[in-house]
Amino acid sequence: MNIKVQNLTKKFNNYLAVNNINFTLEKSKTLGLLGPNGCGKTTSIGMMLGLITPSSGEVLIDDQNVDSSNRNDLLSRMNFASPYIELPKKLTVRQNLEVYGRLYGVKDLKNRITEISQDLNLNDFLNKNTGELSSGQKNRVSLAKSLINKPDILFLDEPTASLDPDIGDFVREYIEIYKSKNQITILLASHNMKEVERLCDTIIMMKEGQIVDRGTCKDLISRHGRDTLEDTFLEIARSKNEMA
Amino acid sequence: MRWHKIYGLSLRHIYLIRNCFPRILEIRYWPSVQVCLWGFMSEFFTVSSS
């Protein structure tokens, strides 16, 4: 599945959260969405998921508008993970995966839960309440939930935020392996430059709701004459707006 | 109508109720209070006033 974002704008009262952004994400590629806090990354993802109605512009998934009549079919082939959205705390990990599996209409759900629990090492706390888990465990559960329906498009909003380097690396490695095995399209919003460098084919830099630069990691670093992506990010974040 | 979504949401509520004793108590307690307070009292006044 590919994603085409055309002239996408979102205005909240007088605040322009996303300002006329355009990009295309090809099938099986990973796109990194980089930018300072409040630059419109999560709002853009919300619009791509059909959770937020754009003020103008459109999101096309396989050339079909995400707000069209077959929205349910499109959404059933997508999924989303964010550490900022908590799963019901009173439900055990297994129950949560079962509920989301049912919501997505996953066939052979029992086996899918067993498979994903083994892959993400969830077996030790599968029967524990989600609210009693550590951040790292919750994060892995959130990732498991996002992969329960074997999505063609995966939206990841800071998937390794607040994780220690060990679990962070585990999650990154898992995403990397899963991507190579399943050829899924990933849109990753992150503040972790090493993560973006490792996982993304192309990067979009956003600032104040606009796309200010785009390209591969190497392109961006060389274009700005910096040594690392982090330095490039800092330069872009601290400079005046220039449209890409 | 997507039955799997209705089933998923229902399952969520069933698990929530099952996992939490205060919820079960609340479901039993308040209807019991209503029945005792309004039902039986109304019945008593109806019978005694006639």
Complete domains list, chain A, with CATH? 1-67+154-244 (3.40.50.300), 78-150 (no CATH)
Report CB contact under 8 Å: A99, B15: yes
Nearest residue to A121 via CA among A131, A108, A133: A133
Q: What pLDDT, on the 0 to 100 scale, is given for residue A191?
A: 87
Q: How far apart are CA A121 and CA A142, in angstroms?
A: 13
pTM here is 0.86
Note the Cα A145 to chain centre separation in Å. Answer: 13
Interface of A with B in 64-93 (CB under 8 A): 72, 88, 90-92
CA distance A97 to chain B (A): 10
CA angle in degrees (0–180, nearest 5) for A218-A223-A228: 50
Average pLDDT over residues A14-37: 92
- The nearest alpha carbon in chain B to A128 belongs to B19
Share of chain A above pLDDT 90, in %: 61
Backbone angles phi, psi at B12, to 5 degrees: -60, -45
Which residue has tokens 């806090």? A37
Q: Using alpha carbons, list the distances in angstroms from residue A30 to A9, A67, A173, A179, B1.
A: 22, 23, 14, 9, 34
**Which tokens hold the place of A94?**
């297994």
Rg (CA), chain B: 18
Chain B residue numbers touching A72 (CB-CB < 8 A): 2
Report CB contact under 8 Å: A91, B5: no
Give residue-wise pLDDT tens across range A174-202. 999 999 999 899 999 988 888 899 999 99
Q: What pLDDT, on the 0 to 100 scale, is given for residue A66?
A: 84
Report CB contact under 8 Å: A99, B16: no
Average pLDDT over residues B25-50: 88
